[in-house]
Amino acid sequence: MTQREMNESFLAQIHNFDVDSEYQFQTHEVNIFLTKAYREVVNELYKEFEKSERIRKVLNPLVKSAQIGSFTTSTTYSNAYTVNLASLDPEVLYVLTEEVTTTAATKIPVKVVTLDSYTANKDNPFKKPYKELVWRLDIGGGSLTHYLISTYTPTSYYITYLQQPEEVDVTSTVSLKINKDVHKDIVDRAVQHALLAKQTNKNLKS
């Protein structure tokens, strides 16, 4: 359904719960509730992305690719490695796959390692980065700066990623990017958020 139709469905459900029209919602409020529900649904589906073909189909419209060819050299975590920072676009929600080309090799895999793993294995000849493997340090917090740790200088960083869900605009006649199979789920969840918010606000005033 279009975003405008999602709004109509949202208001119809609200009316079913609130036949006396006690709860009134402004357009910007509906946008907020639907956007919150949309992002929650995407985050929950992502957790099962690798396990379910159906979920991959649902999220596929949000899957994008990018090539990053500009890096900033860093001395942090170096330990005789080449450490380069790659800056991701803010629309990147989750990285799904990643590869790097270096001055010594064509596309090679990237292994994500925690800071603890880095510290424990940076000098281990059987686990540390080498010509055919690049590490990417996971520093947590959803950082859009990726630390690429390698024995050779990277020339390009290739990623496929899940895009941040767009803001909902209930005046739009365009559908959300995500597969229509979950549009009703988004509306249902938005209604729950809206009713809870109104009830909470009512309790605070009483």
Q: What is the DSSP-derived secondary structure letter of residue 171?
A: T
Under 8 Å between Cβ of 122 and 113: no
Taking only the tens of pLDDT, the chain with its 206 residues reads 999 999 999 999 998 887 556 678 899 999 999 999 999 999 999 999 999 999 999 999 999 999 999 999 877 665 667 789 999 999 999 999 999 999 998 899 999 999 899 889 988 988 889 999 999 998 876 788 999 999 899 999 999 999 999 999 999 999 999 999 999 999 999 999 999 988 876 665 65
C-beta neighbour count of 162 within 10 angstroms: 21
C-beta neighbour count of 192 within 10 angstroms: 14
Could you give the CA distance from residue 186 to residue 61 in angstroms, rounded to a whole number? 16
- Tell me how far apart the 2 most distant CA atoms of the chain are, in Å: 71
Hey, what are 16's tokens? 């079913």
Pairing of strands 134-138, 105-114: parallel
How many Cα atoms within 13 Å fall on the side-chain side of residue 160? 8
Could you give the CA distance from residue 200 to residue 155 in angstroms, rounded to a whole number? 53
Hey, what are 181's tokens? 């199979």
CA Rg, the chain, in Å? 22
pLDDT value of position 189: 98
Proportion of the chain in helix, strand, coil states, percent, rounded to 5: 40, 30, 35
Could you give the CA distance from residue 201 to residue 166 in angstroms, rounded to a whole number? 27
